[in-house]
Structure 1
């Protein structure tokens, strides 16, 4: 379509900034990015333990009885409101926490939010490992949600603000890679502990969440704040300059420093970021911070993240095989995350969004077709077709992992100017948590009722979101965040909104 939907960043790409990726910036971003392991570990661990017979017998005996009852439809064995509350309660807690985290991150810094999140996550892990009843399990989930609300809100901001513009995509994608690594660790651990005959392997799975949380919490104590926040907080340009020189490996940082000071001055004038983000001139950013995370969850990815073992058991794989299958899909996703880090700053965000979208559409249609043809309400699916579903799911998670997975956290942080950046990221995390809750709360019931049609619904949503990206999201690769407003002024649709607002402001000044 010749609408100008694709608007590329300037060829120079880095706004005249000097610098390179230094060991210091790599080290700080590895420590901060490890917070993604917390989110990934929780996504992976919850689905694994809910497929363990010993866990179900202890806390969800009704679900265990359904599994043994041949009269219950294959699609309905895990349909339990209490089980879905266990899985999805975390995300309501995270949604509420991230709205508070925005103020903490803006006033006290990105590092403080990481410390709070890591500490609360450790407390939640203790309740999970020691749980003896459902209320203790729910308290575990709520505390984990609060912790994730703070870490998921602050870490993508931290990574984007510390990274050189020309490598911001790769460094920020490290957060999604950490999420994949967390899911992979959880899946491997679940596969190992399910073999314990004593039946308490799930306690190890739930309590070990404290390990990555402790690493992040201790590491955050020694992390520096970002140059953006140093200038925003107290206007100390000398300290910000020294940090920029250390991060960029050069003394020629004046251009970047000037842009940071200018952005900070605008930020100080904007006292109410949540109110400001609704202004007309920020309409493109508001639309993207709402739509990108909304569509992210409607891909069906978190069905794979925390219900993969349940799904594989549903189609006939045994307990151990279903957990091993989850490990295989996550290995594919982790490899795809690494590919995304290598190509995101070369090919750009739009191309990855579009290619990944097409890949996911075809995968969801294939899974739906296989289940519709070969998987009925009773009996087991032929093993060859079960493994075909597994292969198709690997293609699906790979498509997500090099597109919508990392870009959901990257694009909103880089398109929002400093004065609304914290609010924008809070909205992203809140929408992710809200939609994860909705999907987690409804998926098993929907699967029970419309069966294989569930995957055709996901495919339809992916079609919609791929079209939205093609029409309304401009390219932002290598463009400094402080100069990002240019892309909206040149976009075929957004320039009508942003341009009109700028004309009004000029008239008011005159």
Structure 2
């Protein structure tokens, strides 16, 4: 993988290899734990909204619909106030991600992660102590700021710190911890649902993963790219040697980082203007398309409302929480599959296979719901068919877990040149959170109006995005970040936009198309 790479500028770059060291493993695991806070929140909010004491205190109208003798199962939880509780976090996160872009450049990736963890901690404490809906929403907004900061900084940190050969595996660590957070939250919801104050426990314990991430981030060094960008060359070399091995030759990689940074500063153009230049057209398109398509898989709203969904199709309250837990465990296991395959077979194969699997899963769920519950939503689904829905949802979740789940964080974090990397990542995170906000705010209403057709809606979008990947996403497996421009220069469509970065020859690794 490291072979077949020629010069960049005047520095000889032979793949920027370096062996896999304990230091880089520990550092990347600590950084990836930033996914815990996002995953915990995704898992916790859906479960809490099915707990009767929580609904009685904050959303009594929803509880009355749940207890009504006659009901349309598609519309039980259709409440804009209830969806605002879930979605307010994501509009705050979207705003925070743009601020995080500047913080990441000025203060570094590590400092932004620390700030995100601390803000999330304060929001969790407020949520756990909430006495009215205003306090509840304030806590969610602070959680959103924390998510916006960490989601912007952590994937970039992982891509910059990991050796190119294993960059995909390390970056999927973020999604693995995200999935772990979902599973922990679902397990906690299942256990605490029997307690009258269980919702406070579920919401308040979000402070724990925030503490884990914040303390961990304080103990690791910043990335060499960030340190060079801020003029700390000696610390950058130390960080690079720890990551690549103390006896490794890091001069070529360090020189490449310095040259890239000097070129970036010489241009001295506002990054938010630079990214709109013609030569960065493919980067900008991917920074918008990949996170937007990820939301249009429907995975996050299904994760938020999994207990609600399973309760709607016939599971009892506790059984619905257990079904959501099973769904989370399947998703988590599939992320491990991606970790083992992403650097061996590449990004595109997983994107395409996962997309086809998700389409089949969504169509099958729609077929079962349509035949058993019907359009009216007044029919009762048998236990066996409810279990079948769970199995089909697990097929769908597994497809997402080894494709769009981890890759939607990995690919945007690795495709940008250094001078627009924080900006590109902030746009990607903002689009992700904006899409999450819109879909979280509208899902329960869409479920009420679209009925089982909501799953066909998502299946249609997955078909479109799978075709998009097949046509427009180049393979980035094993390509050093400093040579990433070559994948665009060699792509059948994007090469018409991209300028050659250097007058010297650059080639891709031999495995690349």
TM class, shorter-chain normalised? over 0.9
Distance 2:189 2:304 in 1: 12
Give secondary structure in 2 for the equivalent of 1:76: coil
Match of 1:312 among 310, 313, 326: 310
Contact 1:9 1:476 in 2 (8 A): no
Would the alpha carbon gap of residues 136 and 373 (structure 1) be closer, same or farther in structure 2, given more than 3 Å must change? Answer: same
How does 1:83-98 map onto structure 2 within 5 Å? 83-98=82-97
Equivalent residue for 1:329? 327
Aligned twin of 1:3: none
1:75 match: secondary structure: coil
Q: Report the Cα distance in structure 2 between the residues aligned to 1:16 and 1:378, rounded to whole angstroms.
A: 61
Q: Does 1:219 align with 2:225?
A: no
User: 1:31 maps to which residue?
Assistant: 30
What are the within-5 Å matches in structure 2 for residues 237-316 of structure 1?
A: 238-249=234-245, 250-269=247-266, 270-316=268-314
- In the TM superposition, structure 1's runs of 4+ consecutive aligned residues that sit over 3 Å from their partners are 8-15, 499-503
Contact 2:2 2:165 in 1 (8 A): no
CA distance in 1, matches of 2:31, 2:500: 40
Question: Matched residues in 2 for 1:406 and 1:300: separation?
Answer: 15
Separation in 1 of the partners of 2:476 and 2:173? 18
Shift of 1:9: 10
Residues 1:59 and 2:50 aligned together: no
Output the CA distance in 2 between the equivalents of 1:310 and 1:184.
Answer: 16
Residue 355 (structure 1) shift: 0.4
SS at match of 1:28: helix
Q: Which structure 2 residue ranges, 5 or more long, are not aligned?
A: 7-12, 504-513
> Matches of 1:159 and 1:9 in 2, distance apart?
19
> Does residue 351 in structure 1 map to residue 349 in structure 2?
yes
Structure 1 residue 54, shift from structure 2 partner: 1.4
Over residues 413-433 of structure 1, what are the superposed CA-to-partner deviations in whole Å (9 max), with x where a residue is unaligned? 111000000001101110111
* TM-aligned CA distance change 1:262 to 1:127, over 3 Å: same
Instruction: From the two aligned structures, give the one with the greater helix fraction.
Output: 1
Match of 1:360 in 2: 358
Is contact 2:23-2:243 (8 Å) kept? yes
- For 1:507, the equivalent position in structure 2 comes to none
Alpha carbons 1:280, 1:501 under 8 Å: kept: no
Distance of aligned partners of 1:500 and 1:417 in 2 relative to their CA distance in 1, 3 Å threshold: closer
CA RMSD of aligned residues (A): 1.7
- Residues 400, 260 of structure 1: alpha-carbon distance in 2 compared, 3 angstrom cutoff: same
Moved more, 9-18 or 481-490: 9-18
8 Å CA contact 2:120–2:146 kept in 1: the answer is: yes
Residues in 1 aligned to 2:93 and 2:499: alpha-carbon distance in whole angstroms: 36
Contact 2:2 / 2:15 at 8 angstroms: preserved in 1?
A: no
> What's the CA shift for 1:500?
9.1
Partner in structure 1 of residue 508 of structure 2 = none
Deviation, 1:438, is: 0.6
- Measured in 1, the distance between the counterparts of 2:499 and 2:30 equals 41
Query: Aligned in 2, Cα 1:230/1:57: closer, same or farther, shift over 3 Å?
Result: same
Aligned partners of 1:18, 1:35: CA distance in 2, in Å?
Answer: 26
Q: Which piece of structure 1 moves more, 250-259 or 26-35? A: 250-259
Moved more, 265-274 or 135-144: 265-274
Residue of structure 2 equivalent to 1:508: none
> Relative to structure 2, which stretch is displaced further, 224-233 or 491-500?
491-500
Of the structure 1 ranges 406-415 and 66-75, higher mean CA displacement relative to structure 2 is found in 66-75
5+ unaligned residues in a row in structure 1: which ranges?
A: 1-7, 504-510
- 1:4 is aligned to none
Per-residue CA deviations over 1:197-250 (Å, capped at 9, x if unaligned) read: xx11000000000001011111212210110011111151x4322221211113
Q: Any conservation in 1 of the 2:163–2:244 contact (CA below 8 Å)?
A: yes
Mapped to 2, the partners of 1:344 and 1:194 lie a distance apart of 38
Q: Distance in 2 between matches of 1:315 and 1:119?
A: 39
Residues in 2 aligned to 1:188 and 1:12: alpha-carbon distance in whole angstroms:
47
Question: Which sits farther off after the overlay, 82-91 or 218-227?
Answer: 218-227
Once the two structures are TM-superposed, the CA of residue 343 in structure 1 deviates from its matched residue by 0.7
Equivalent position of 1:416 in the other structure: 416
**Residue 183 of structure 2 contacts residue 325 of structure 2 at CA under 8 Å; is this kept in 1?**
yes
Number of residue pairs matched by the alignment: 493
| Structure 2 length-normalised TM | 0.94
Contact 1:33–1:155 at 8 Å: present in 2 too?
Answer: yes
Distance in 2 separating the partners of 1:42 and 1:217 = 16
Q: How does 1:372-411 map to 2 (within 5 A)?
A: 372-376=370-374, 377-411=377-411
The whole-number CA distance in structure 1 between the counterparts of 2:17 and 2:407 is 25
Inter-CA distance 427–9: structure 2 relative to 1 (3 Å threshold): farther
Mapping for residues 145-184 of structure 1, pairs under 5 Å? 145-184=144-183
Q: 1:109/1:158 Cα in 2 relative to 1: closer, same or farther (>3 Å)?
A: same
Going from structure 1 to structure 2, the CA distance change for 1:52 and 1:476 (only over 3 Å counts) comes to same
Would you say the 8 A contact 1:9–1:477 is kept in 2?
Answer: no
- For 2:237 and 2:210, the matched residues in 1 are separated by 31
CA contact (8 A) 2:301 2:436 kept: no
Q: What is the TM-score of this pair, normalised by structure 1? A: 0.94
Structure 1 distance, partners of 2:48, 2:61, is: 16
Matched residue SS, 2:16 = coil
